[in-house]
A and B are shown apart, each in its own frame.
Chain A
Amino acid sequence: MPERCAVAGTGQTRHAAARHDVTLGGLVREAAARALADAGVDWADIEAVVIGKAPDILEGVMSPELLLVDALGAAGKPVLRAYTSGNAGGMAATTGVALIGAGVHSRVLVVAFEKQSEGRAAGATLQHVPFEPRWQGGTGSLFGALCREYIERSGAPDHIGDLAAYKDRRCALANPLAQVRKADITLEAIAASRMLWDPIRLLHSSPSSDGACAMVLCSEAAVSGPGPAWVHAVASRTEPPVAPGHDNVDPRCGRDGAAAVYRQAGITDPASELDVAELFVPYSWMEPLLLENVGLAPKGGGWRMVEAGDTWPDGAMPVNPSGGLLGANPIGAAGLVRFAEAAMQVTGRAGEHQIDGARLALGHAAGGYSNCVAMWIVSSERP
């Protein structure tokens, strides 16, 4: 039986288009220090560190964990590096949970970050592969295609992407750490924004962000301070990006990962049992699609939930009350932010964007070519 794992505290930086005020070390320390304070522990209490981030090419620093050891008080400690593209932040959390679960450590610091202002993320994430056709347009072009496919399959009307984006952008206003917070945002402005990759418009899209997130995971015996969030389930799944069974729109890795966490947590009706979900939505059209993929909506029904307003904070199934990735998308960190936001919700620490009475939450991270996911379920109750 793995050891129980608790989230003693979380911390995030102020996410921004560019954090020129801090070095890489300063960025991660800001998040880590906040997590330690939230957990009521000191640097010396941490036994191991897991660092997650997306491609090193984004900052132009290879193996940045080697550089960041000092900033994270990790000299003399075991430091592991998780890297699996967009879900890297989530994967880092699963590694931390495994270190606790294996009984090897009792307090682990998990940190994920991206400082995209140091490079050109949009260009970096879609490079030319030798001997293959040259696809232009950045990662978004891949998402555009699969979102259009979702529309074809589900019959979703054209305004769904606008509705989901409006919801996330309004929610971001209640998150002081979000990068994009436009108080006068309107549905009309979103619907009229420039089309980038049909059906994805500019204001359907997440920004490029600098940001970091950290959390302190601990074993049951090491729990101290205010009530932690308890990890009830954790799962990761990866499938080959090109394979006979691979479906970008409804990837099996997502379905299997969700089924695994619901099973581990004893959840049989996720849409009614979960109080809130933080999902990895880099483009608003992904929200209806992911609702179906993680079993919160029936097949073809995700867009109906969005249209009905179910995913607003006061709806039947709040999704991304933090504002999600449209609020801030530091690529490697964004997955860990979803995991952290889920933990914040069930411990009443989500401030202005707290969902009242939230006790059971799903955190989800996705990456690659819709081929890798990590997710967890946290609760205010011990498992």
Chain B
Amino acid sequence: MIEVAVTGFAADLTAPHPAPPHPAPPHPAPPHPAAPHPAAPDGGRTDAELLAPVVAAALEDSGLAPDQIDVLGTASSEFLGGLVGGMMGAFDALPGWPPRPHSHLDGDGAFAFYETWIRLLAGEGRAALVCAFGRPSASDRRSVLELQLDPYTVAPLGPPLAALAALQARALIDSGRCREADLARIVAARRPGTDPAELLGRPYVASPLRAADCSTVVSGAAAVVMVTGDLAGRARRVPAWIAGAAHRMERHYLGARDLTTSPSTAAVAADLGLPGSDLDVLEIHAPFSHQELIVTEAIGARRVGRVNPSGGALPADPLMVTGLIRVGMAAEAIMAGQAGRVVGHATNGPCLQHNLLVLLEAGGG
């Protein structure tokens, strides 16, 4: 089987617009230039302007020139952007000439990562660039995201996604497997400077979730370079080899699922040999705090060194980029020489309907 490694990653996150009800406290300097900078101002950049710098940084990381990229995979949500064909504008930021195979998907970049990996395994090229981008902070995301729901029987009721997530959190608490204090602890860990006790005194936005339990939506872009074995030697840092990746989707209707578990995540984890194993880093795409608990439990690792060292999705969530950033940040730990075995998780759909895991290891290939 063809071995593929991640050799480049960069992400850019900008401040939310308008400001959230509880402004995110200033973050300390991140440990690596590729880590998110949530405090940077938006500046009104276009998709291409948002994407171009991260593409350049990821390419430089990988030691490749733009014309060495054979395959492109991109992701965004055109519906959130509000303009049919709008994603084409972002393509100006990509190596585009001569024409290349380029698969775009409407969804999170992590799934484009998976699809692009498949294309390299199928021999479509030796080097690929995967990007995701979006400016959801500039759109009416709440009314658009509601449209992910069954258009005949659910969407007309207008349930906000935070309310659906709250149903899941409530079910988890009622099952006895967590308390609100556990959620506050997660929030405090992901949003530095938050006092869990003070957090518990804040009002709910949708019981039992508080605003801080829900991710802060920002604009953002991310780029990952992945290469087949022979090109991994060009990497500036340690290649992160893809030891496995898989995903599964669950039933759509919330009433048909046990919302307190994630069978799709558990099935994928089993496919990848994760239960009972040790991980140095686990990056979880949890737009709501309680979902970290559900995903962690579903993966069933014996020991995890660090969970969401990047902060995860809570402090900075560019929606369709967030899963790709989790995969990238997991890879980052290997590339920075700080980890040997890591997992990046991504999710799509209400209440963790669709879940992807990528297992990366140092020293493969």
Contact = CB atoms under 8 A, between A and B. Distances in A.
Do A and B come together as binding partners? yes
Interface of A: 1-2, 23-24, 55-63, 65-70, 74-85, 91, 94-95, 97-99, 101-104, 118, 124-127, 129, 235-245, 251-253, 256-257, 368-369, 371-372
A70 B253 contact: yes
B248 interface: yes
B267 A63 contact: no
B91 A241 contact: yes
A2 B122 contact: yes
Nearest to B246: A78
A236 B103 contact: yes
A161 to B, nearest CB: 25
Contacts of A80: 105, 111, 114-115
A238 B100 contact: yes
A79 B354 contact: yes
A75 B250 contact: yes
Given A62-B144, A240-B97, A372-B102, A101 B84 contact: no
Most buried by A among B97, B99, B145: B99
A37 to B, nearest CB: 24
9 contacts: A55-B79, A60-B151, A63-B107, A63-B148, A69-B252, A76-B264, A81-B105, A83-B104, A245-B97
Contacts of B103: 82, 84, 91, 94-95, 236
Given A80-B115, A243-B96, A67 B252 contact: yes
Contacts of B106: 56, 63, 81, 83
B250 A76 contact: yes
Contact of B251 (A23, A69, A369): A69
B29 interface: no
Contacts of A55: 78-79, 84-85
A66 B161 CA distance: 14
A302 to B, nearest CB: 21
B152 A23 contact: yes
Contacts of B88: 240-241, 368-369, 371
Contacts of B115: 80, 95, 98
A155 B55 CA distance: 44
Interface string B149-186: 11110010000000000000000000000000000000
B123 interface: yes
B122 A62 contact: no
Given A1-B123, A103-B121, A125-B84, A70 B107 contact: no
Nearest to B121: A102
A77 B249 contact: yes
A63 B251 contact: no
B250 A57 contact: no
Contacts of B123: 1-2, 101
How big is chain B's contact interface, by range? Answer: 35 or more
A253 B99 contact: yes
Nearest to A60: B147
B216 interface: no
B365 interface: no
Contacts of B275: none
Nearest to A104: B118
B194 interface: no
Interface string B130-149: 00000000000000110111
Contacts of A368: 85, 88
B314 interface: no
A82 B105 contact: yes
Interface in B303-353: 348-350, 353
A24 B151 contact: yes
B151 A124 contact: no
B124 A98 contact: yes
Given A67-B252, A102-B121, 15 more contacts: A63-B107, A63-B348, A66-B349, A68-B252, A75-B249, A76-B248, A79-B354, A83-B78, A98-B124, A99-B118, A99-B122, A125-B84, A238-B102, A238-B104, A253-B99
Interface string B249-265: 11111000000000110
A220 B167 CA distance: 46
Contact of B100 (A23, A83, A237): A237
A257 B124 CA distance: 13
A81 B99 CA distance: 22
Given A2-B123, A62-B145, A75-B251, A67 B84 contact: no
Nearest to B250: A75
Contacts of B354: 66, 79
Contacts of B149: 67
Contact of B79 (A56, A235, A257): A56
B83 to A, nearest CB: 6
A190 B222 CA distance: 50
B290 interface: no
Nearest to A101: B122
A215 B123 CA distance: 22
A254 B276 CA distance: 50
A78 B248 contact: yes
B82 to A, nearest CB: 8
B98 interface: yes
B104 to A, nearest CB: 5
